[in-house]
Amino acid sequence: MTRAKGFSLVPKTVPLRQRTNFYQEIVEEFVASREKSVVVEGTERKPATLIQGLRKAVTATGRDNIKVVQRMGDTYLIKV
């Protein structure tokens, strides 16, 4: 196509949406660990986003023995 208007339109198909199971991986690794509680660090996610994602993952996996809590800015997974 021509660039006379300062832009171009290039035909290309939209790739399929890729869903990640990032939060489920965290929950499953916690379940596999023998720890009673852990702090989740190094995700580069905002605290509210991390808590919401982890809570949804816990609910989706049907694990009612895991709690997600926030204390002083840190996000914890706790086996109850």
CATH code of the domain occupying 22-79: 3.30.1370
Q: Are 47 and 69 in contact (CB under 8 A)?
A: no
Domain spans of the chain, in order of start: 22-79
Instruction: Give pTM, 2 decimals.
Output: 0.74
DSSP lists the bridge partners of residue 78 as 37, 67
pLDDT tens for the chain, 80 residues long, are 455 788 989 999 998 876 678 999 999 999 999 899 999 999 999 999 999 999 999 999 899 999 999 999 999 999 99
H/E stretch holding 50 reads: helix 47-60
